[in-house]
Each structure stands twice: as structure tokens, then as C-alpha cells.
Chains A and B, each alone.
Chain A
Amino acid sequence: MLPVIRAEDLQAFYVLETLRGKKVVRAVNGVSLVIPENTVYGLAGESGCGKTTLLKVLLGNLEPPLRHFGGRVLYRVDGEYLDALALPEGKRQKLRWTYISYIPQGSMSVFNPVAKLRTTFMDFLESHVSGKMRQELLRHAEEHLERLGLSPKILEAYPHQLSGGMRQRVAIALATLLNPRVILADEPTTALDVVAQRAVLQLLSDIQRKLRNTIVLVTHDMGIHATVTTRMAIMYAGRIVEEGWTQDIFTTPLHPYTQYLIRSLPRIGDKRLRESAPGSPPSLAQLPPGCPFHPRCPLAFERCREEVPELEEVGEQKVACFLRRASHVVTS
């Protein structure tokens, strides 16, 4: 499978001027990823691990105080690899929404609260598609909505008139209007309850199946990854600590953090005690030396405190841990 985006040893930090001097937040601290085409690719990690920043970098959205400190992002456009961060802004703008699109966390921020959805859709189409009549564009929007199982009547509504789940699905429809090859979805179901969540996930799966594109689904909810993604990566403190087929990661998690994530999830039918990982994730401005997980890891030893482990292949999986195949830290 050919990759549709490659990240090579990406580094992007926030440089903040505070009263105490400079503060450097290493949100993306050496990330290498190969995201294949025609997949739902999951990126798991908790708040503060850098995943939203990683999405921004993949989009090429580097605005101060976020600065690029190293590495490349490559897009495969029309058979060629383009360095996304080196592209002139004009070219990058063109690629946005037609090659790569983004669904931010919280659907309300995508829509103009005082405009009907029709206006938002039309503005969007008119600014990205030239040479078509308004009527044609409107029809295109309506057909797209129908194809996704949404009623075209919602175009007449204002954003606040729709429920959270509905709004999120409309945001997804907007992001996929121009049939992009890559869709970056940042926590698309966080504020939604289980039923609305299921509708959103269903929609994403349908889109991926019909358009055969790649969806990069970022969420901390491991249950979602198990249900919809085929391949995934686990992010911790700005680095990728494990990567592989979703199936493999759930049956044989190699990294101690992954094991905690999976084993601590409650399941219906099982009331046995479940434990969270002790402590809490480190601040990205004050990372511990060596492996970022070592302060919380029950299997940490000397080397973990001194050196940073790189992602290495273990069979079909990749893991960044000196133990390479950690014994089960959490019995369950």
C-alpha cells in the first residue's frame, strides 16, 4: 500500500515568552509516520500528548508561537511527493480541502453561528471551485448530503438549531465536499453521547468506503479505535510509542503505556478491578530525560532514564521501548 502522507522525524515546538523567560513546549518531538491510502488510520493519545499539534503540522498550519524545528511532511499528490512545509502558501491553500481537509474538535467552531448552513456551504464551494454556476454548486452540495444519508433540508437551518451529533455530521459533510484524499478528524465524537457517536462513526466509515480515501482519526477513546480503524499509532508526550495493525495492537500490545490504556478500559460483563496508569502525563514543557514514560513505568530500568528509545520493528508492529516486548504490566 502506498502512503498518502509521510512524516519524517517531525519536530514542532511552541515557543512562548512568559514573564519567567522562554518556555518551549515540545508538542511534536520527533514523529515519523507512514499513513497509507484507503484506510481509517487511528491516532491514539490523551490530552496534552501533542496530537492536535501533530495534525496542525500535517496540515501545514504553522503559525507562531508554533514553529517548525525539524523533519518533513510529504504529501503524495498525483503520483509525486511534495514537501508540504516547503510549499508556498498559495499552493498549500489550493491543496487544502481538495487534497487534505480537517475537522476540528467541536463542530460549532466550523460554522458561522449567524448564517444558515446553506450560506456556509455555498461560500465554501464558491471560493474553491471556479467556473460553475451557483445552481450547480448548490445541487452538488445537496447530492453530497444525500449520499451521506443526511437530509438536504438541513441547509436551511442555523447551526444552533441542530443537535451536537447532527452538527458534527454536517461538519464532516462540509470537509468532504471536494472529495479530499486525506481527512484529519480531531476527536470527532468527544462531546457526543454514545448514540450520536455511533452515527458519526458510521458516517466516517461510509465515507471512507465510498470514496476510498484515508481518514486519520484522532481520539483518546480506545474503543473507537478498535471499532473503526484498521491501523493505528499511539502517541505519548510528543512521540509515537507504538504503531501497527489495530488488531495486533489490541491482542498483543507491546509498549507498557499501550497495555495500561487497553487493560484499564471497563467492559460490560466484567466487574473485575481495573487500574489506571499511576501518576499523570508529563508537561510537554518539562519532559523527563530519556524515555518520556519512564516515571510511570513499573518496568523502567537504568537505560530508560538516560536514553530515548526509537521506534523499532517487532514483527509487523513498531514500538519505542527498550524492552521491545514488555511483559504484561497489568494483569487482568
Chain B
Amino acid sequence: MEALRELFRDYRFAVGFVIFLFLVVLAFLSFASPYDPIRQLQVPRDRPPSRAHILGTNSKGQDVFWEATFSIRNSLIIALIAGLVSRIVAILVGFVAGYRGGTLDRVLMGLADGLLVIPLFLILVMVAMLLRGSMTLVNTGLLLAFFGWAWDARTIRSQILSLREREFTKTSVLSGNGTMSLVIREYLPFTTPLIFSTLINNIAWAIGMEIVLAILGLVRLEIPTLGTTLQWAITYQAMLLGHWWWISTPVVLTILLLVALYWLSVSVSEYLDPRMRIQRVGARS
């Protein structure tokens, strides 16, 4: 698509995209893993990187490289669920509250404000503690989504409030559009950059939160994710024992992932900014 070609001219997008692609490929590699992700003692322990095990083995007797592919895959799944679900809720709430106004607006914003005011970290930890047993990938994702929609719902709502006053809203009403189709057709193009950049930010946040929860031991630790592999490495004192391959793998992967997401977010939202788009459309003529 022409859009992609234009985006690639921005070095941030190009580099971020490549890194992200690399990580996604790694995630897919997990399906080809010769080892089971959960079972321990499958290979000799604490071996440094060698031909047989590219990134060495850990103290639990697992191949670090193949564990890493699973950890990337699972972290991405959690983050994607968190990001997508919270976007959808934020959009629905923000659009309806912004366009309809009145009591509905007040109720929805009250809910959102409540969530914003709550000390997120404490609640998250509390809930995770209660649900520890059932913190599967999906549940972790949903829990993070629950805390991720409020801020963006507010931002989207304020954008809708100002868009509502613009003349093309009237034209759309006169063209026979009902609330839902109006809001989607007219306002979505304006809110897309916001939604997209917050999606990516949200994903990055979810990655980080998952790691935090894992370090605190609040998830199912046997499922490999970036957080849990890091947690195990810390517990087994990998750093002190000099098993650098085990602890640096999740760290490096996380850094790469977050940097890539950041660059993607910045370049895409700049590209989608309505003012830039209008300028581009004008330049075409």
C-alpha cells in the first residue's frame, strides 16, 4: 500500500518494524520447538551457549533459546489481549459518552474517573493475589485491559466533544446518518491516530506490568513469559552465578520490544495525525 511505503521513509518506523517483525518471527518459532515449554530437566543444566544450545541452558534444565521463543509469544498474547480489549472498551465508552452527553455521559465518566483514581498498582496486586491460581494468559490480559481503558476513554471523549460542534456533523445528520454510523464514519478517522498510538503504548505498558506481576510471583510461574523467565533467573541467582545468558535474554528481548513499540507508535501517530493527513491530501492536488 502507498501508506506503508510512505511510512517506511521514516527511519523510526522502518527500524521499529524490522525489530518487531524479528520478535514476531521468534514467537512463531516457538511452534517448532523441540522442547516442551513447561517441563523441567529436559537438558543438562547451566550450560553456556554452545552449538547444541544457542543461548545455553538454565538452572531448571531448559533450553534458554526455545524458552525465549515461548516467552515472547506468551507476553505478546497477553499484551495484545490487554491492548485490544481496552481499546474497544475505550472507544465505545468515549464515543457514546462524548456524542450523547447527558446522564449517560456522567455515569460513564464517573466509572472512568473511579478507575483512574484508584491506586492501580495496589489493586492490581490485590486482585492478582486473589486470582493467582487462575492467572492464565487470557485472564492476565483481561485484568490488564480492565485497568487500561479509562484514561483513553476520557481523551477520546474530549475529542468527540469538539468534533460534535463542527459543521460536517450537521451535514452527516442531514444525510440521514444515525448516531452509530455518524460517529464511526465521521469521527473515527480523526480519532484513529489517538487510538493507534495509545494501543501501542498500552501494549508496551502491558508488557511492563506483566513483568512486574511476574517478579512479584503473582502469575502462574510455570508458563514462560518475559516476566516469568526473568523471575526465575533472579530466583536462581543467575547474575551472581555468572549465568549471564539466562538473565540477559529476557532483558534484551524486552528492551528490543519496548524500543520497537515506541518507535512504531511515534511514527505511526505522526503519520495519522489529521493535520498531516490533510496537508498530504492537499499536496496531491
Q: Bound state CA distance, A36 and B280, in angstroms?
A: 42
Give the shortest distance, in Å, between B276 (CB) and chain A (any CB). 11
Contact indicator per residue, chain B 254-285, by CB within 8 Å of chain A (1) or not (0): 00000000000000000000000000100110
Q: Which of A1-55 contact B (CB under 8 A)?
A: 16, 18-20, 23
Give the nearest-CB partner of B280 in chain A.
Answer: A19
Q: Bound state CA distance, A269 and B283, in angstroms?
A: 45
Contact of A16 among B6, B283, B284 (CB under 8 A): B283
Q: Bound state CA distance, A16 and B282, in angstroms?
A: 12
Q: Bound state CA distance, A20 and B284, in angstroms?
A: 7
Give the shortest distance, in Å, between A310 (CB) and chain B (any CB). 31
Q: State the main secondary structure of chain A at its contact with B.
A: strand
Give the shortest distance, in Å, between A246 (CB) and chain B (any CB). 36
Q: Bound state CA distance, A18 and B284, in angstroms?
A: 8
A residues in contact with B280, CB < 8 Å: 19
B residues in contact with A18, CB < 8 Å: 283
Give the shortest distance, in Å, between A137 (CB) and chain B (any CB). 39
A residues in contact with B284, CB < 8 Å: 19-20
Give the nearest-CB partner of B279 in chain A.
Answer: A18
Q: Bound state CA distance, A23 and B283, in angstroms?
A: 9
Q: Bound state CA distance, A20 and B280, in angstroms?
A: 10
A residues in contact with B283, CB < 8 Å: 16, 18-20, 23
Q: Bound state CA distance, A16 and B283, in angstroms?
A: 9
Give the shortest distance, in Å, between A127 (CB) and chain B (any CB). 31
Q: What is the number of residues of chain B that contact chain A, defined by CB distance less than 8 Å?
A: 4
Give the shortest distance, in Å, between A72 (CB) and chain B (any CB). 32
Give the shortest distance, in Å, between B4 (CB) and chain A (any CB). 14
Give the nearest-CB partner of B2 in chain A.
Answer: A19
Q: Bound state CA distance, A20 and B6, in angstroms?
A: 12
Give the nearest-CB partner of B282 in chain A.
Answer: A18
Give the nearest-CB partner of A18 in chain B.
Answer: B283
B residues in contact with A19, CB < 8 Å: 6, 280, 283-284
Give the nearest-CB partner of A20 in chain B.
Answer: B283
Q: Bound state CA distance, A152 and B8, in angstroms?
A: 58
Give the shortest distance, in Å, between B115 (CB) and chain A (any CB). 32
Give the shortest distance, in Å, between A17 (CB) and chain B (any CB). 9
Give the shortest distance, in Å, between B9 (CB) and chain A (any CB). 9
Q: Bound state CA distance, A18 and B280, in angstroms?
A: 8
B residues in contact with A23, CB < 8 Å: 283
Give the nearest-CB partner of B9 in chain A.
Answer: A19
Give the shortest distance, in Å, between A116 (CB) and chain B (any CB). 26
A residues in contact with B6, CB < 8 Å: 19
Q: Bound state CA distance, A243 and B283, in angstroms?
A: 34
Give the shortest distance, in Å, between B26 (CB) and chain A (any CB). 34
Give the nearest-CB partner of B283 in chain A.
Answer: A18
B residues in contact with A20, CB < 8 Å: 283-284
Q: Bound state CA distance, A275 and B131, in angstroms?
A: 78
Centre residue among B6, B280, B283 by max chain A CB count within 10 A: B283
Centre residue among A18, A20, A23 by max chain B CB count within 10 A: A18
Q: Bound state CA distance, A23 and B284, in angstroms?
A: 11
Q: Bound state CA distance, A193 and B6, in angstroms?
A: 45
Give the nearest-CB partner of A16 in chain B.
Answer: B283
Give the shortest distance, in Å, between B252 (CB) and chain A (any CB). 37
Give the nearest-CB partner of B6 in chain A.
Answer: A19
Q: Bound state CA distance, A191 and B6, in angstroms?
A: 39
Give the nearest-CB partner of A23 in chain B.
Answer: B283
Give the nearest-CB partner of A283 in chain B.
Answer: B285
Give the shortest distance, in Å, between A160 (CB) and chain B (any CB). 16
Give the nearest-CB partner of A19 in chain B.
Answer: B283
Q: Bound state CA distance, A228 and B139, in angstroms?
A: 75
Give the shortest distance, in Å, between A312 (CB) and chain B (any CB). 35
Q: Bound state CA distance, A156 and B280, in angstroms?
A: 43
Q: Which of B1-38 contact A (CB under 8 A)?
A: 6
Q: Bound state CA distance, A198 and B6, in angstroms?
A: 51
Q: Bound state CA distance, A23 and B282, in angstroms?
A: 12
Q: Bound state CA distance, A16 and B279, in angstroms?
A: 11
Give the shortest distance, in Å, between B158 (CB) and chain A (any CB). 19
B-contacting residues of A (Cβ < 8 Å)?
Answer: 16, 18-20, 23
- List 5 A-B pairs, Cβ < 8 Å: A19-B280, A19-B283, A19-B284, A20-B283, A23-B283
Q: 9 closest A-B pairs (Cβ-Cβ)?
A: A18-B283, A19-B283, A20-B283, A19-B280, A19-B6, A23-B283, A20-B284, A16-B283, A19-B284
Can you name 6 extra interface pairs (CB under 8 A) apart from A19-B6, A19-B280, A20-B283?
Answer: A16-B283, A18-B283, A19-B283, A19-B284, A20-B284, A23-B283
